[in-house]
Structure 1
Amino acid sequence: MPVSAHQLLIGDVFTNAARAVPHRTAAVLGDRSLTFGEIDTGADTVARTLRGLGIGPGERVVCWAGTTLDAVPLFAALARLGALYAPVPGTLGVDEAAELAAAVRPALVVTADRTPAETARLGAAIGAPVRDLTAVVAADAEAYGAAAARGDAEAHGAVAARDTEPHTSTGLLETDPHCLFFSSGSTGRPKGIVLSHRVSFLRSHPGSQLEPRGAAVCSFPLFHMAAWTISLQQWQARDTVVYLDHADGQAIRAAVQTHRATRLYCVPAVWQRVLDGDHAALATLRFADTGTSAVTAGFLDAIRAAAPRAHLRVCYGSTETGNVAALDGDGLRDHPHSIGVPGTSTEIRTSADGELQVRGPLLFDRYFDDPAATAAAFDDGWYRTGDLAEIDAAGRITLTGRLGELIRTGGETVLPQEVEARLADHPAVADAAVVGLPDPAWGEVVCAVVVPRDPGRPPSLQDLRRHLDGRLAAHKHPRLLRVVDELPRTPATGQVRRRLIAQRIAAAPPCRGVSSW
């Protein structure tokens, strides 16, 4: 019996789907699509090419690209080989990409839509071979066709003989590392988050009884963990995932309508773009998911109105944890500030200082080549989320802030998120963030950073403080105000980068009033 027969391996997801539904569409991007059979055979083709380049179990392959279908057979091939797939955002420049890639010491880098000069610079910076992704995907197929055209029996036979290699991932263990995703860097230098085959498999498994699922539109780029989790959820259920070149509102609505999609997960900032258009395009949605940042009752009502047939869910999790909890149904109205109860096999607790901690089979394995950071991330086997939380008697979780983001002013504690939620109600405020700034008298003072709805008529500090009168204690009112064009957020999840905001303010001239950077 092959090892893969009782191991949870990502390579076998493609083998099983291709055996059951080889002609069913698995992935779509624009006018191009791949069936499960095409991914299965394409993965074998790419695996042979990669073996020829010296890639084997445990090796790391960086993919510096945007969203492209060629990444799918590469992803599947590396899973079968036991090598790690490490995507680097295609939005990064050469120097930024090189810094991330070098950190994982790759055996190979594949790129898409890059100039020869860019690939040469990248290769020189990290000391690893660089290949074009499209060429890697096509290389072995071209060699096979060329040999057949020449009638070269010996060469053709050698290539054909490799087709007899098993399509399963025999010899690998489910605990072997499968992929490496870089953290968003919202709290410091990005870290390489390593996931095993078992973790990726369990995060995406649909259950033993498959049911009609329908297509899912993926609003995340293919260098983001969420994109591959959504994809694997679809592929384990033997259904279709639809990718986008650009996740703007019009493109998402068009994709839902064209493919009669039943599932859509967007972060709140992206959902806002989707809602700003023809809601008739969303009529086929059965599941509408959001998460990663705070949402308001009005925002959720807008999604309900736009997609009335959809089951609305607010999810909470991270690359390190997978999905931790979700809130849906009546809970969204009855407990609007909660993130719900823990998911299957997930345990939660709060530490003495109120930090939410998580334990279970969905947790990441480690930070790559960083045992100190890995050790610091755990408390006796419990992952430290960095989020402050309260857990009620029913097990519902309510987030109250971020550990390390608490503002301590004059001996009092201020949660930035609490102040932000109140400022968001001000009619002149389009977006708001709150940070603590050093102050010799108070220790820290509360600073509001706002994006005005009308740039020509921004709110004053006095306006905001009057708005908060009677709604928040006086020590929570901002003493400083900065007016900006936009707030810096993490690229994929849209989370406010409070540390960066504080750094920008510190670098600007001191001001006790309105300012901008």
Structure 2
Amino acid sequence: MTDTAHTLGTSRTLWELVERRAALTPDRPVLLQEDRVLTFGELRERAERCAAGLYGRGVRPGTVVAWQLPTRIETAVLSFALARIGAVQSPVIPFYRDREVGFALRESKAEFFAVPGVWRGFDHTEMARRLGARGVFEAYGSLPDGDPAVLPPPPADGTGVRWIYWTSGTTSDPKGVLHTDRSLIAGGSCLAHALHLTADDVGSMAFPYAHIAGPDYTVMLLLYGFPAVMFEHFALPGALAEYRRHGVTVAGGSTAFYSMFLAEQRKQPGRKLIPSLRLLAGGGAPKPPEIYHAVVREMGCQLTHGYGMTEVPMITMGSPDDTAEDLATTEGRPPAGMEIRIADGGEVRLRGEAVCQGYLDPAQSAAAFDEDGFLITGDVGHVTASGHLVLTGRIKDIIIRKGENISAKEIEDLLHLHPEVGDAAVVGLPDPERGERVCAVVEQPPGAGPLTLAGITAFLREQGLSVHKLPEQLEVVEALPRNDALRKVLKYKLRERYGPAGAATPS
């Protein structure tokens, strides 16, 4: 990390970080979207005017403001306007509907709710009214505006809870995760420290800004003073023109994004997909080693992958100067200040400034931390001699077959080596004789030949997988179920579909 970035990383609040960066490089761009450019100086000025407009509507320090907005320049401006006031923000992924949105509004006790109006054919304003939301206003093409002279001084303390993020709620209602300005700055600093970026880079945001990755990434821009291209709607090959036009050097998002870029690259293997691209980076889901090797080999750029969660936006991150073996098989190293403890059974536990303050529900908070204040992640792994973290799965992804523990990730990584497999998820299903049986669910790439259980098990045996770990059920699907943020596979849906309730017949 450069001296300037390190100094900026000591900012107490996000607004202080904005002011310090704007003073350093006011005319440099920070956000690019189609033909629009927002500079660091303009971000400060527009956010402060928006803050004044919000203040005129009754938003005060500590007021809870929910917003459900797409990845857009106005969204970032609104978010920093709320940071200028010291309000409590509750970002909601724009693809969520009545159930999730209603839950977030009720649990956070939001006094205001910013929506995009009709966006991608769905009327968010009408949904907000249907849910009885308070203080509903649209913030898409225009934002509240006012004279900054009315504003009180900006917040000076970055350790108070000013953010409520929501977990995906894949098995139950979402959890409201409590963050501070300092925990978000610490997370973004981890990302910036690992990637070795410079002011000459051009990043990209192809994920929802309302995801925890939004501030994570924006902190990195503020620390290093370089811009990012924002994609309100990301789809390939349509988005490639914007990557090329703006000369993006750093792209990514998650494993699903790597796979999408690879699929496009394979359509024209002799031509580099994005000529300026030198690095794919992301996290949010497991990365099979073969994906790393395929990106480096076929796309001609480096791939660094990290480990984060809503509760801790950045835990570890691969670095471009890591060895190929570490980049392929680990999640990178933690930054200074992030403590990793491997508890009994291999469970990963965390303590550090980037860790959340807990949950809205005090009972959930009490259960989330151990007696030494470490966050209990539910992930399983180990730390190598070089300090790199290797994740082997989640506790609930450990399949217990006839008393033997089986890692779903180990099988998934081997399945990705099969030429007729595009993506794969392995789950344990209840079985009266074995306790659990191993079920492999796979997507196939275009033009792939048929797959059979016998063929898959023969391939896995050739790769050296022990016989007791071989899948006993194979399901081939057109598309694995994924969430709307980082396209993470939703295994609970596979368990529901192929478990006792789904009563699918083994292939």
- Please state which band the TM-score falls in when normalised by the shorter chain: 0.7 to 0.9
Residue identity in the other structure for 1:231: T
Shift, 1:114, TM fit: 2.4
Report the CA distance shift for 1:139/1:327 in structure 2 as closer, same or farther (over 3 A). closer
Residues 87 and 223 of structure 1 are in contact (CA less than 8 Å); yes or no, is this contact kept in structure 2? Answer: yes
Shift, 1:480, TM fit: 2.0
Is 1:359–2:359 an aligned residue pair?
A: no
Report the CA distance shift for 1:480/1:503 in structure 2 as closer, same or farther (over 3 A). same
Report the CA distance shift for 1:322/1:510 in structure 2 as closer, same or farther (over 3 A). closer
Residue identity in the other structure for 1:326: M
Question: How far apart, in 2, do the equivalents of 1:79 and 1:509 lie?
Answer: 46
Residue 274 of structure 1 corresponds to which residue in structure 2?
Answer: 261
Match of residue 369, structure 2, among 366, 378, 392: 378
- For residues 458-512 of structure 1, the C-alpha deviation after alignment (integer angstroms, 9 at most, x for no partner) is 3222222222335222221122222222111222223222222101223655344
Matches within 5 A, 1:496-515: 496-506=489-499, 510-514=503-507
Residue 264 of structure 1 corresponds to which residue in structure 2?
Answer: 251
Shift, 1:332, TM fit: 2.4
Shift, 1:297, TM fit: 4.1
Is 1:409–2:395 an aligned residue pair?
A: no
Question: How far apart, in 1, do the equivalents of 2:197 and 2:431 lie?
Answer: 59
Question: How far apart, in 2, do the equivalents of 1:247 and 1:290 lie?
Answer: 15
Residue 465 of structure 2 corresponds to which residue in structure 1?
Answer: 472
How many aligned residue pairs are there? 486
- For residues 131-189 of structure 1, the C-alpha deviation after alignment (integer angstroms, 9 at most, x for no partner) is 1114761443xxxxxxxxxxxxxxxxxx5xx53757x61x4411122322211234533
Is 1:490–2:483 an aligned residue pair?
A: yes
Is 1:419–2:423 an aligned residue pair?
A: no
Residues 123 and 129 of structure 1 are in contact (CA less than 8 Å); yes or no, is this contact kept in structure 2? Answer: no
Question: How far apart, in 2, do the equivalents of 1:512 and 1:261 lie?
Answer: 47
Show structure 1 runs of 4+ deviating over 6 A.
none
Secondary structure of the corresponding residue to residue 114 of structure 2: strand
Residue 209 of structure 2 corresponds to which residue in structure 1?
Answer: 222
Is 1:323–2:314 an aligned residue pair?
A: yes
Question: How far apart, in 2, do the equivalents of 1:506 and 1:455 lie?
Answer: 29
Question: How far apart, in 2, do the equivalents of 1:298 and 1:481 lie?
Answer: 21
Report the CA distance shift for 1:509/1:236 in structure 2 as closer, same or farther (over 3 A). closer
Matches within 5 A, 1:17-28: 17-28=21-32
Is 1:35–2:39 an aligned residue pair?
A: yes
Residues 424 and 431 of structure 1 are in contact (CA less than 8 Å); yes or no, is this contact kept in structure 2? Answer: yes
Deviates more, 1:354-363 or 1:501-510: 501-510
Structure 1 spans left out of the alignment, 5+ residues: 141-158
Shift, 1:118, TM fit: 4.6
- For residues 90-137 of structure 1, the C-alpha deviation after alignment (integer angstroms, 9 at most, x for no partner) is 222344423333221101001113289752442342441211114761
Report the CA distance shift for 1:352/1:28 in structure 2 as closer, same or farther (over 3 A). same
Residues 289 and 413 of structure 2 are in contact (CA less than 8 Å); yes or no, is this contact kept in structure 1? Answer: no
Question: How far apart, in 2, do the equivalents of 1:163 and 1:274 lie?
Answer: 47
Report the CA distance shift for 1:121/1:39 in structure 2 as closer, same or farther (over 3 A). same
Secondary structure of the corresponding residue to residue 65 of structure 1: coil
Shift, 1:253, TM fit: 3.4
Question: How far apart, in 2, do the equivalents of 1:334 and 1:229 lie?
Answer: 23
Shift, 1:455, TM fit: 8.5
Secondary structure of the corresponding residue to residue 76 of structure 1: helix
Question: How far apart, in 2, do the equivalents of 1:320 and 1:62 lie?
Answer: 18
Report the CA distance shift for 1:81/1:511 in structure 2 as closer, same or farther (over 3 A). closer
Structure 2 spans left out of the alignment, 5+ residues: 1-7
Residue 143 of structure 2 corresponds to which residue in structure 1?
Answer: 137
Residue identity in the other structure for 1:385: T
| Superposition CA RMSD, Å | 2.9
Residues 458 and 483 of structure 1 are in contact (CA less than 8 Å); yes or no, is this contact kept in structure 2? Answer: no
Question: What percent of counterpart residues are identical?
Answer: 28
Deviates more, 1:42-51 or 1:287-296: 287-296
Residues 95 and 122 of structure 1 are in contact (CA less than 8 Å); yes or no, is this contact kept in structure 2? Answer: no
Residues 381 and 389 of structure 2 are in contact (CA less than 8 Å); yes or no, is this contact kept in structure 1? Answer: yes
TM-score (norm 1): 0.85
Deviates more, 1:505-514 or 1:339-348: 505-514
Residue 155 of structure 1 corresponds to which residue in structure 2?
Answer: none
Question: How far apart, in 1, do the equivalents of 2:424 and 2:126 lie?
Answer: 42
Residue 91 of structure 2 corresponds to which residue in structure 1?
Answer: 87
Shift, 1:16, TM fit: 2.2
Question: How far apart, in 2, do the equivalents of 1:134 and 1:494 lie?
Answer: 24
Residue 3 of structure 2 corresponds to which residue in structure 1?
Answer: none
Is 1:176–2:160 an aligned residue pair?
A: yes
Matches within 5 A, 1:155-166: 162-163=148-149, 165=151
Shift, 1:58, TM fit: 1.5
Is 1:114–2:121 an aligned residue pair?
A: no
Report the CA distance shift for 1:136/1:56 in structure 2 as closer, same or farther (over 3 A). farther
Is 1:198–2:182 an aligned residue pair?
A: yes
Residue 156 of structure 1 corresponds to which residue in structure 2?
Answer: none
Residue 246 of structure 1 corresponds to which residue in structure 2?
Answer: 233
Shift, 1:202, TM fit: 2.4
